[in-house]
Amino acid sequence: MSLRMNRRSFLSMTAFASLAATPVGRTLAQTPGAPSALKPLRIVKRTIEVNRRSASVYGLLGPDGRPGLTFTEGEEFRVRLVNESGEPTTVHWHGLTPPWAADGVADAPLPLIGVGETREYGFPVGSAGTHWMHAHTLQEQALLAAPLIVRDRRPADEQEVVVLLHDFSFTPAEELLARLTGGSGHVGMNHGAMGHGVMSPMPAMSEHAGQGAPVSGHAGHGVPAMAMDVNDVEYDAYLANDRTLDDPEVVRLDKGGRVRVRIINGATATGFTIDTGRVEARLVAVDGQPVVPVPGRLFPVTMGQRIDLVLEMPKDDQSVPILALRENAPERTGIILATAGAQVGKLATTGAGKGPLLDLAVERHLRAAAPLAPRAANRTITTELQGTMEGYAWSQSGFDRPAPVRKGERVAITMRNTSMMAHPMHLHGHRFQVIGIDGTQIAGAVRDTVLVTPGSTVTVAFEADNAGTFAFHCHHLYHMAAGMMGFITYDGISG
Ligand SMILES: [Cu+2]
């Protein structure tokens, strides 16, 4: 396979095999100026308590022993990543635009990080924003995910709260996937790496893939045409910073103080709506990129996406729950912001009603605060997002092989969703701007993950300025595992 050939040539070219720790990206000697120290980041196994049961999960622990990493804009991403988890894995820096070698998808280009292996990274961290890091394998389900925050160089007069949302099951991800596929063998997995839940770089062909899966009906259950499927997996819990809402994190803040809540939807198969309750918030950034502020109390955030909300704490003693409502279901999670003297009441893990269906109403109105320079696309890639719950086979047409682009091009990707589920589509190595929804041109948000709801068409555009073979896929973990996984590739990199 071309990707593997490419990896071999890449490895021999840089002679990585002779080094104790694998340097990835800009080598350390090339770093200009006085190099700052490498930040340690450990992939570990840890035990947390969920619903009063102990759960063995992964963790990504930074220099202070807490989850994740924090940088300041303009800094170098200088990280020494050590895999202490006892399992081979890989970590993707979701939202950063590193050189291809540092991207963190298995065999694109580097292999999994072996047990006990160390990798050293060095590349510019880029502009400020709320990002995250996660395994690009089924291990993501077991909380192999953490925040990756790039702070503004001139900090605003605001306090910062980071919330990583997740969906949690005591059932292993491999079994959840097997239940969904019904053992139909439609899963685009590399069987040699199955035990580690590693995605194949190329989706496996199946008799259902590429046929233009039917849109009408739902597996013969008599559901009307274009009926939507929403939640593929019923989880045991929904977590915010590893905790359920009946035992939430409580963050004490100053009365009347301004706070920036950085919300990361790290769930693998759950969309949420953030509910700020009585307190109005302003949506100021999506996927780490600033937008013209949007006031409101309800904000959608699908899998892989981030939103930054700015709000002012009440001037008297009050608590402000920041809830994440599960899409089309009563379950909820969240954290509590509270002034020093505020009483914090008990909150149930289910609400009175269902969380809203995620749609594109907010997306349509988002305007990038720092849009791409106006430019016509040199190339348009068109893909149909296809699949059915029957057999659980998912695909994106035209991506049976990596889609070619050329360095320097402005590339547009038009995605038409003919399936009955929404797909959060994520491009690695680049940020795109949403430039069209259902035929209407917009100067929409710059981001890296966009939701394409059933029946809708979304067009994004990006600058082809980071050569490599980068993943372009659905961020629903089980859709990705079942075939909704492709690549874009630059001339001369792979084909
Ligand atoms: Cu999907």
Whole-number Å distance, alpha carbon 202 to ligand 1 midpoint, is 16
Q: Supply the mean pLDDT for the chain.
A: 87
As a dihedral over the C-alpha atoms of residue 256, residue 262, residue 267, residue 269, rounded to 10 degrees, the angle is 90
Per-residue model confidence (pLDDT) at position 154: 85
Whole-number Å distance, alpha carbon 317 to ligand 1 midpoint, is 43
Whole-number Å distance, alpha carbon 335 to ligand 1 midpoint, is 28
pTM: 0.87
Whole-number Å distance, alpha carbon 180 to ligand 1 midpoint, is 13
How big, in percent rounded to 5, are the helix, strand and coil portions of the chain?
10, 45, 45
Whole-number Å distance, alpha carbon 364 to ligand 1 midpoint, is 20
Whole-number Å distance, alpha carbon 430 to ligand 1 midpoint, is 20
Per-residue model confidence (pLDDT) at position 20: 53
Whole-number Å distance, alpha carbon 475 to ligand 1 midpoint, is 6
Q: Tell me which of 1.10.357.10, 2.60.40.420, 3.30.2080.10, 3.90.45.10 is the CATH number of domain 2-155.
A: 2.60.40.420
The architecture in CATH of the region 175-226+367-490 reads: Sandwich (2.60)
Whole-number Å distance, alpha carbon 139 to ligand 1 midpoint, is 18
Q: In the predicted model, is pLDDT for residue 21 greater than 60?
A: yes
Whole-number Å distance, alpha carbon 352 to ligand 1 midpoint, is 28
Per-residue model confidence (pLDDT) at position 29: 42
Topology match between the domains 2-155 and 175-226+367-490? yes
Q: What is the pLDDT of residues 109-129, one digit of tens each?
A: 999 999 999 999 999 999 999
Domain ranges of the chain: 2-155, 175-226+367-490, 237-365
Q: What is the pLDDT of residues 260-279, one digit of tens each?
A: 999 999 999 999 999 999 99
What is the average per-residue pLDDT within 307-318? 97
Whole-number Å distance, alpha carbon 395 to ligand 1 midpoint, is 9
Model confidence at 184, pLDDT cuts 50, 70, 90, reads: low
Whole-number Å distance, alpha carbon 119 to ligand 1 midpoint, is 31
Q: Tell me which of 2.60.40.420, 3.20.20.70, 2.40.50.140, 2.60.40.10 is the CATH number of domain 237-365.
A: 2.60.40.420
Report the percent of the chain where pLDDT is more than 70. Answer: 83
Give the C-alpha separation, 466 to 100, whole Å. 8
Whole-number Å distance, alpha carbon 131 to ligand 1 midpoint, is 21
Model confidence at 25, pLDDT cuts 50, 70, 90, reads: low
Q: What is the pLDDT of residues 431-449, one digit of tens each?
A: 999 999 999 999 999 999 9
Whole-number Å distance, alpha carbon 393 to ligand 1 midpoint, is 10
Per-residue model confidence (pLDDT) at position 23: 76
Q: In the predicted model, is pLDDT for residue 218 greater than 60?
A: no
Per-residue model confidence (pLDDT) at position 213: 31
Per the model's pLDDT, the better-predicted residue between 474 and 185 turns out to be 474
Q: How far is CA 343 from the centre of its chain?
A: 34
Q: In the predicted model, is pLDDT for residue 131 greater than 50?
A: yes
Q: Which of 486, 485, 482, 487 is nearest to 173 (CA)?
A: 482
Q: Which residues pair with 322 in a beta bridge?
A: 335
